[in-house]
């Protein structure tokens, strides 16, 4: 009987373990099994990474600043820019002071009228406005930044939240780090991403355990991405392990007591 109990204990202990293969990010081949053979201070591999610039979408909030030698009373661009009227108050005030891209993808200025910026990168929009401003202002400089780049990360992370950033070039790894990292029982092999493109939501899964993910077109997150991290199968077992173990121990003790009495 004791042998059966010992065997049961070994099985339970093994089932509760999570191997390194399911935890370590960006693995290549069997390097985890051959750590001593990995050369140090040497470049082992290289990956080509395509930089995907963010493209402006309707309802984005842009910081658009104009600088020129034109007298202020004639500079209708700066006078109509919300940033010149709101100062201080942190990120929320900065967003309130930005220029809202309308539902059709346009921003609007006096005299010039509406300017279509939807689908343009930040630099393309900046260049387009620069050409327009040069027609009206002397030695003008235009600077644009996105104020409301945000994404949501939920599930098996240490700090699920909505994250706002002025940096539009964020990798999935950085996004996870900004949420406090994965929990111990996060399934890194099948992270779900819901991505909005216009009036369509695309759903795809990524595997953060494989090094080749670096070359994936989904390595960088996009505006309004929703990242959902599922748990490993061991999560439910580990969560209730202590209570289940206590119950099992009580049942075994009761059975052994009854067997002893019967003898």
Mean pLDDT by 10 residues, the chain (263 residues): 50 57 82 84 85 87 84 62 49 67 92 92 95 87 92 94 90 94 92 90 95 92 94 64 61 72 69
pLDDT of 195: 95
- 203 phi, psi to nearest 5 deg: -120, 130
- 108 lies in some domain: yes
DSSP annotation of 38 reads S
Question: Which of 96, 113, 146 is the endpoint of a domain?
Answer: 146
Domain housing 130? 61-146
pLDDT of 248: 64
Residue 25 shares a structural domain with residue 155: yes
pLDDT of 199: 82
pLDDT of 54: 87
pLDDT of 18: 66
Residue 89 shares a structural domain with residue 167: no
Q: Which residue has the tokens 């082992």?
A: 44
CA–centroid distance for 189 within its chain: 15
Residue 199 shares a structural domain with residue 223: yes
pLDDT of 229: 95
Nearest to 218, CA basis, from 197, 198, 199? 197
pLDDT of 162: 95
Residue 128 shares a structural domain with residue 96: yes
**Contact between residue 95 and residue 165 where contact means Cβ atoms under 8 Å apart:** no
pLDDT of 87: 43
Residue 228's domain is classified under what CATH number?
A: 3.10.560.10
Question: Which of 112, 146, 180 is the endpoint of a domain?
Answer: 146
- 65 lies in some domain: yes
Kindly list the strands in the beta sheet with 161-165, ordered across the sheet, starting from the edge strand earlier in the chain.
161-165, 149-155, 226-229, 191-197, 200-206
Q: Which residue has the tokens 């390097």?
A: 31
Four-CA torsion 36, 40, 46, 51, nearest 10 degrees: 110
What is the total count of domains within the chain?
2
pLDDT of 124: 97
């Amino acid at each position: 009987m004791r042998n059966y109990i010992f065997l049961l204990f070994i099985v339970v202990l093994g089932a509760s373990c999570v191997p390194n293969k399911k935890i370590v990010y960006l693995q290549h081949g069997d390097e985890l099994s051959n750590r001593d053979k990995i050369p140090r201070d040497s470049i082992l591999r290289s990956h080509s990474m395509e930089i995907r610039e963010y493209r402006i979408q309707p309802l984005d909030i842009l910081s658009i600043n104009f600088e020129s030698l034109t007298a202020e009373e004639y500079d209708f661009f700066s006078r109509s820019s919300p940033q010149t009227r709101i100062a201080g108050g942190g990120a929320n005030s900065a967003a309130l002071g930005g220029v809202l891209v309308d539902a059709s993808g346009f921003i609007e200025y006096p005299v010039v009228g509406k300017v279509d910026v939807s689908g343009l990168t930040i630099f393309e929009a900046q260049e387009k406005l620069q050409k327009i401003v040069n027609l009206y202002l002397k030695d003008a400089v235009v600077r644009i930044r996105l104020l409301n780049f945000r994404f949501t990360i939920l599930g098996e992370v240490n700090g699920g939240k909505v994250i706002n950033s002025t940096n539009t070039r964020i990798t999935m790894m950085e996004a996870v780090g900004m949420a406090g990292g994965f929990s111990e029982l996060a399934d890194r092999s099948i992270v779900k991403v819901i991505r909005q493109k216009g009036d369509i939501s695309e759903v795809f899964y990524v595997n953060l355990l494989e090094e080749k993910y670096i070359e994936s077109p989904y390595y960088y997150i996009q505006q309004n991405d929703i990242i959902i991290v599922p748990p490993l199968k061991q999560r439910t077992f580990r969560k209730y392990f202590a209570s289940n173990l206590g119950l099992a121990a009580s049942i075994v003790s009761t059975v052994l007591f009854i067997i002893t009495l019967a003898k």
